[in-house]
Amino acid sequence: MEVVQEPRRKKRPMPTWQKIVFGGIAVLLFLLILVLIFVNVYINQTVPKVSGEEVVRVLQSDVRVTYDRYGVPHIEASKDADLFRAQGYVQAKERLFQMSMARRQASGTLSEVVGEQAVEQDKYFRTLGLRRAAERSYASYSPEMKEVLQYYSEGVNAFIEEAIASKRLPVEFALVGFSPSEWDPIDSLTIGKYMAFDLGGHWERQAFNYHLLQQYGEEKAYELFPSYPKQAPTIVKDINIGQSFSSAIIPEEFNGSNNWVVSGEKTASGKPLLADDPHLGLATPSIWYEMHLQSPNYNVNGVVFAGVPGIILGHNDEIAWGVTNVGPDVQQLYLEKRHPDEAYTFMYEGEWEKAKVIQEPINVKGEDTIPYTVVETRHGPILSEFAGQSDGEHALALRWTALDATTELEAFLDVNKAKNWNEFEDALAKFHAPAQNFVFTSKDGTIAYKANGKIPIYPDGKDALLPLEGWNAENEWVGYIPYDELPTVINPEQGFIATANNKVVGPDYPYHISHVFAQPYRYARIHEFLEENNHLTVNDMKELQMDVKNLQAEEFVPLFVSKVRNGEVSETMGEALSILEKWDYKDEATQSAPLIFHTWMDHVEEELYKDLSSDVRGLFTGKGQTTDELLRQSFSGEDPQWVQEAGGLEELLTKSLKSSIEELYASFGSELTAMSWGEFHRVEFYHPLSSISYLEPFFNSNSPVPSDGSAVTVMAASHNEEGIVNHGASWRFVFDGSTYEKSEQMVGPGQSGHVKSVWYDNQRKDWVEGGYHTTYLSGYKGQVLTLTAP
């Protein structure tokens, strides 16, 4: 049979436009691949070297750096000077971009690299003057400490020069578009001042109280004061507080820190145990960097802020220590009376005084330099100048201890070398700001506590509740609490000492400390645990740091449920109340009760304070403490006006529960029993550049993780409006006094600031689940990098 082959069909030619489009796509894909390969190669070559050798031009002798499996550098130097040079070099390798941005933020120079969106923030920090305060402080440091700061700066600069020359700067510099400038000692001190700012004081609450008295009657205003004034304060001419501080940068209201120390009488080993977990903002990289420093005069391990020499918190081979924030009234707003014709002249004791006028021109990337003037009275910078002060007769100036010359970094270097309580306490005499609760233990079994720092003594009847008239000398601070009279406890009979930003003195203490303290739940839970248990171990300390018992809920849920059940209850409200009644009061991510309770408390506050203008709500620090007290008063039969105006206690609770349930259904769309705290309450350590949408997958490749805890549990985990946990234990530390050779630590999310490092976020899971790593003072193993002298 003959096979007839059909003629082959000719292919239809591709239209020209398709050739252009597909050709263009191919070229773009090829270019994209090349770019990705280039970027990947560039990023990989900037990963910090952790083994082998590196020549560091500033060293006088070789330094050995051993990186353990968690990325903790153990730096061994034969000279103290080389120890601090190496510390600066090693920190810069891992955290240079963080260090560079931190000094810019604190100095008010962000606009130079990020543009006009940072101008208002720069104006605020120029006005506050953290860098000017750092310059004043430098003059107060000893020659020996100035040398340490210089050695550290030399190490940082050695890395900067090397990285620029070899094109190995971290990729963030290329993305933002700038190169780091030379580091100097003032940069380190300015970062220290910024931490004092972050732990701050209570000027914003003074401004809020002042607003209350202007907008409401005295009785109603006093209900929101942290404590009732003994006598009605003087009201000066109205100043628009909200407008005055609309552009001020107010630190996030702290949910606090925890620390405790237990004597050997209550431990299984017969030796003390110490634990510390300071609560700060959670981000990538961590605010802390863990290091071990060893030289002829140092053998100390713990954590330090990137950009600062020495160790801030941790232990050496003789002592261990930890801190929480005291939160004293170290900031005071003063109303200054202006001269009617001279803008920078103010009244004091019947005479006119010229203020200090400082020119602070602000360089802005891609824009003209902005001329900017800062004015400082005898009390401090006028904070309201930049915000469009509405009152031509008065201004508001800030008096703050941290703007004075202080020597906290020298104090920590002395602490690093201390061998006993006496040496430790002597070292703390140099520590002025921010005021901290120190707990301590030493090899001889001593346990101790000291509330340390410069805490002002106020004139009689004037104790930091409101701005004071700056033109009267009678309103000046009358010194500071004498060092030997600061709250101190040594080897107490109860066998332990704990602090959690709680009130640290009783009514018999002769000096005022503060009006604003953290809600008492964390401290009460820690005290309860330590008092009830003996034969305590390191594991018990870890368990307590991760404790999620909610004592606020334990106090209020029965009262809330009982009050609401007095009225009409819908089916869904009844279901919510039943869930809460069965709750064990643990803020666990898998439970629905914490989600219902915390949402309910949020709505209670919304109802209570709905009449407060939005521009002053940010000044209402310590709001939770005030809310709890208003509720307690209502349940005890008192009748606060804020609760009355919300319809009374039963209507307040019923209405807020109903709106809470509506919000939960709108957000999660399932049955209440199927919802969980962890669906809303999740932790992620955001990198600052992840705010740029296309960079988020690069710097934050993992999804937020459900998290236990809350702002009122020992495992502190405060969240923002989206439920993202952004404030909590930035470092966890447990120390066993039976051996001074090691400690248990966690730095979330990890040690490295480099996205390609194995230590970038390897402790993220540990933060959520309570994992720790052991860091040793001797016998450690790991990758060895030798820093060689030229």
**Catalytic positions:** 257
Helix (H, G, I), strand (E, B) or coil at 633: helix
**Dihedral over Cα of 243, 244, 248, 252: its sign:** negative
Of 375, 365, 312, 397, nearest to 104 by C-alpha is 365
Cα distance between residue 282 and residue 730, in whole Å: 6
| Token couple for 109 | 């120079």
Q: Are 774 and 739 in contact (CB under 8 A)?
A: no
Rounded CA gap, 272 and 269, in Å?
8
Q: Are 95 and 753 in contact (CB under 8 A)?
A: yes
* For the chain, the helix, strand and coil percentages under 3-state DSSP, each to the nearest 5: 40, 20, 40
Task: For 366-431, give the DSSP string.
Answer: TSPPBP-EEEE-SS-BBTTGGGT---SSEEEEEEEGGGS---HHHHHHHHHH--SHHHHHHHHTT-
Sign of the four-CA dihedral 216, 221, 223, 226: positive
CB atoms within 10 A of CB 61: 12
For 415-424, b/e burial (b = at least 16 CB within 10 A) is bbbbeebebb
Alpha helices in 647-694 (DSSP H): 649-668, 677-680
329 is in an annotated binding site: yes
Instruction: Output Rg (C-alpha) for the chain, integer angstroms.
Output: 29
Tell me the backbone φ, ψ of residue 649, rounded to 5 degrees: -60, -45
* Distance from C-alpha of 268 to C-alpha of 256, rounded to nearest angstrom: 29
Binding site feature residues = 329
Binding site feature residues for Ca(2+) = 329
